[in-house]
Amino acid sequence: MSTIHTAVLRDLGIQAVNPGGSTGSTWWSGRNDGSLLPSINPSTGEQIAGVYPCSADDYQRIVKESVEAFRTWRMVPAPKRGELVRLIGQTLREKKDRLGTLVSLEVGKIKAEGDGEVQEVIDMADFAVGQSRMLYGVTMQSERPAHRMSEQWHPLGPVGVITAFNFPVAVWAWNAFLAAIAGDTVIWKPSPKAPLCAIAVQQICNRVMQQQGYPGIFSLFITDQPALADQMVQDDRLPLLSFTGSVPVGRRVAATVGQRLGRTLLELSGNNAVIVDQTADLDMAVRAIVFGAVGTAGQRCTTTRRLLVHESRYEELVCRLVKAYAQVHIGNPLEPDVLMGPLIDQVAVEGFRAALDEIKKEGGEVLYGGRVLSRPGYFVEPTIVRAKNEWPIVQRETFAPILYVMPFQTIDEAITLQNHVPQGLSSAIFSNDIRHGEQFLSAAGSDCGIANINIGTSGAEIGGAFGGEKETGGGREAGSDSWKAYMRRQTNTVNWGRELPLAQGIKFGS
């Protein structure tokens, strides 16, 4: 570890060994019998620091304090709740460079992406501050005389937020800031592959909560034990469970929360396609495809995984992509000219290798890349493969930089292929034909939660509602009216007259 990185960690409150639980006030969990959870730098395979995961008792303490804090927090005026989020956003601005470096160190994103992720957290704080003054309900016209009908939004309760490794701070912010201004408290279970980013954010929140006298709004619960995570999922003191991760785990979470008739917000795997038609601007398309397929080493839920190209542009586009891929500098994500860092761990490297074995067995042709790099850390080559959409490997999300290219003849065929996967997160078309664009956006077009024209699949802005359909889970987070998921809606009818007209004109009693 360089002295610069040691200073970054110190400034963010990260020690050699860290407690993995905090109630968001002054309490941090202590050492327990569980084994130390190492945080590994995926660029080197070396340990950055260690974390004591939470015990079952720690979990109980965290939930108890979160429930208690909710009782007070729900009665704090929403704009004042926004002020707490504003102050956290301000501290994050001051720490952006260092936190961005920690994101790069712990999950291997290039520095620009690490900083970009922290900026997203800051933007989300700003968005939530504004939203805290706009938790609007509507009024309705009553069918009865001297009656007024309206609806209002109330806080929901403590919210559980389980996040994936690949957005180690942003996904928390999409949920936590909206939940907080909505009057909820938040218990965060981050990925055990990125515990230090979560601890750094919790340190910032703790300081602001303490200054403002509102403990227990944001809590941290780090565990690497699925059984303990499951305890959180089963806990009916948490009326909403927001889960971001893979389809297999998300399916289990949905079933468990469904069993207790709780609410879920599911943000699961994607299998995103770009369509390039005969009229597309290839300069724009190439840049968007390379960024979408290679960025974050193919470890974004919105990564471009499938490329559907009109047969008349196929040869030219593939040739240009191969040239662009050859320019991608792979290496230490903190070096300025590096465009692609490592995969998260050895399991991910094995997933990449297994996918290529399966592709070759199916008869796929590797057009670029395909190798695991022999150097410390978990590096692979960005890869382009000629494939068929119906192959089982193409139907699944392999969380690695593998792009499947497929030619098509008509726009109808392209849209059918684009939709013909179990997932439904992000999609894009590159076209200068207005008819193709409109067909793609129509009710018979893309079936995804995100559909773009002339920009790629990756990198959504926080102002829109983010999420996807089908196996992606149907949840929506961040912008638009996503805040409603964190509140309970109440319909109110007030009779200000002196009669009691019953519904449906029924005459009941004297």
- Which residues belong to the active site? 267, 301
Told to check if 364 binds ligand NAD by CB under 6 A, we report no
Print the binding letters for residues 421-450 with ligand NAD: x by CB under 6 A, - otherwise: ----x-------------------------
Told to check if 458 binds ligand NAD by CB under 6 A, we report no
Interatomic CA distance for residues 24 and 42, integer angstroms: 29
Select from 65, 397, 447, 471 the one that contacts ligand NAD (CB under 6 A): 397
Q: Name the DSSP class of 484.
A: G
Nearer to ligand NAD, 352 or 399 (CB): 399
Dihedrals phi, psi of 273, to nearest 5 degrees = -120, 150
Partners of residue 428 on adjacent β-strands: 274, 452
Render 33-89 in DSSP notation, one character per residue: SSPPEEEEETTTTEEEEEEE---HHHHHHHHHHHHHHHHHHTTS-HHHHHHHHHHHH
Select from 121, 159, 222, 253 the one that contacts ligand NAD (CB under 6 A): 253
Nearer to ligand NAD, 195 or 407 (CB): 195
Select from 40, 118, 129, 268 the one that contacts ligand NAD (CB under 6 A): 268
Local structure of 10: helix, strand or coil:
helix
Nearer to ligand NAD, 253 or 411 (CB): 253
Q: Where are the beta strands (DSSP E) in 365-421?
A: 365-368, 383-386, 402-408
Residue sitting closest to ligand NAD (CB): 245
Q: Are 268 and 432 in contact (CB under 8 A)?
A: no
Told to check if 113 binds ligand NAD by CB under 6 A, we report no
Nearer to ligand NAD, 82 or 250 (CB): 250
Select from 22, 91, 163, 398 the one that contacts ligand NAD (CB under 6 A): 163
Residues that bind ligand NAD (rule: CB under 6 A) add up to a total of: 29
Q: Cα–chain-centroid distance for residue 153?
A: 25
Segment holding 457, helix H or strand E: none
Partners of residue 189 on adjacent β-strands: 162
Told to check if 87 binds ligand NAD by CB under 6 A, we report no
Please state the closest distance from residue 237 (CB atom) to ligand NAD, in A.
Answer: 16
Told to check if 167 binds ligand NAD by CB under 6 A, we report yes
Please state the closest distance from residue 459 (CB atom) to ligand NAD, in A.
Answer: 12
Interatomic CA distance for residues 114 and 9, integer angstroms: 15
In 3D space, the residue among 229, 116, 94 whose CA is nearest the CA of residue 169 turns out to be 116
Can you give the binding site for ligand NAD, defined by CB under 6 A?
162-167, 171, 189, 191-192, 226, 229-230, 233, 244-246, 249, 252-253, 267-270, 301, 397, 399, 425, 472
